[in-house]
């Protein structure tokens, strides 16, 4: 075995230092690429969320349109002679919050407020009942009307339809190209 000279040791140190610097540069480049990939993932996620909101919004409007198209006929058949409907009634509450009702069917004396859901869940029924309790306060022009509630849905989860009927709401099922009231004949809706 030969002796290593100071020049050779120095050369080895320089080469090791160069390799460390190259490794550090590669780590920094990998970190930059990870950050860029993360940025792209976040941008893709943001775009997918926008697309989902757009799809959900358009699907909801389609459901509302489907239900509204049959609403005058199906309510009239149940003894509430509806003159016309209003979609997406929105306003500001006295406390600064907002309200929105999907469809309002009215005839001057009676008003049927319809909440439209693609999938009806028990919490949707509870939330809607809370809105019905406030409608005469939030929309004073209906203060002297008889108010009825209805939930319209494509599918219902976890006993939500039964809950709605038991709480005095009309249950309207959207089916293909029409809508139908699912409550039994003789059903007496709750009046608010």
Q: Which residue has the higher pLDDT, 83 or 60?
A: 83
**Cα distances (angstroms) measured from residue 149 to each of 1, 12, 66, 145, 179:** 97, 85, 18, 13, 16
Question: Phi/psi class of residue 96: alpha, beta or left (left: φ > 0; alpha: ψ in -120 to 50)?
Answer: left
Average pLDDT along the chain: 87
* 3.40.50.150, 3.40.50.720, 3.60.15.10, 3.40.1350.10: CATH of 68-181: 3.40.1350.10
Extract the runs of DSSP E, i.e. beta strands, from 30-92.
84-92
Distance CA 30, CA 54 (A): 36
Residue written as token pair 């009307």:
145
Give the integer Cα–Cα distance in Å for 133 and 177.
31
> What is the pTM for the complete model shown?
0.69
Contact 113, 101 (CB under 8 A): yes
- For residue range 165-184, what is the model confidence (pLDDT) as tens digits? 999 999 999 876 678 889 89
Which of 26-40, 60-74, 94-108, 109-123: highest mean pLDDT? 109-123
Q: Is the pLDDT reported for residue 61 higher than 70?
A: yes
| Structure tokens belonging to residue 190 | 């709750």
- Domain boundaries, given as residue ranges, for the chain: 68-181
């Amino acid at each position: 075995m030969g002796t290593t000279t100071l020049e050779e040791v120095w050369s080895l140190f320089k080469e090791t230092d160069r390799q460390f610097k190259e490794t550090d540069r590669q780590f920094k480049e990998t970190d930059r690429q990870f950050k860029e990939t993360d940025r792209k993932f976040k941008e893709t996620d943001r775009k997918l969320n926008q697309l989902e909101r757009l799809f959900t919004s358009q699907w909801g409007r389609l459901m509302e349109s489907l239900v509204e198209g049959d609403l005058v006929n199906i309510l009239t058949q149940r003894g509430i002679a509806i003159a016309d409907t209003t979609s997406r009634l929105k306003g500001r509450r006295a406390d600064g919050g907002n309200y929105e009702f999907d469809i309002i069917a009215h005839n001057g004396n009676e008003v049927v407020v319809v909440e439209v859901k693609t999938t009806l869940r028990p919490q949707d029924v509870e939330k809607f009942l809370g809105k019905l309790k406030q409608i005469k306060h939030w929309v004073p022009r209906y203060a002297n009307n008889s108010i009825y509630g209805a939930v319209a849905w494509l599918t219902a989860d976890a006993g939500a339809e039964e809950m709605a009927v038991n709480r005095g709401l009309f249950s309207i099922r959207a089916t293909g190209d029409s809508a139908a009231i699912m409550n039994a004949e003789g059903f007496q809706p709750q009046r608010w």
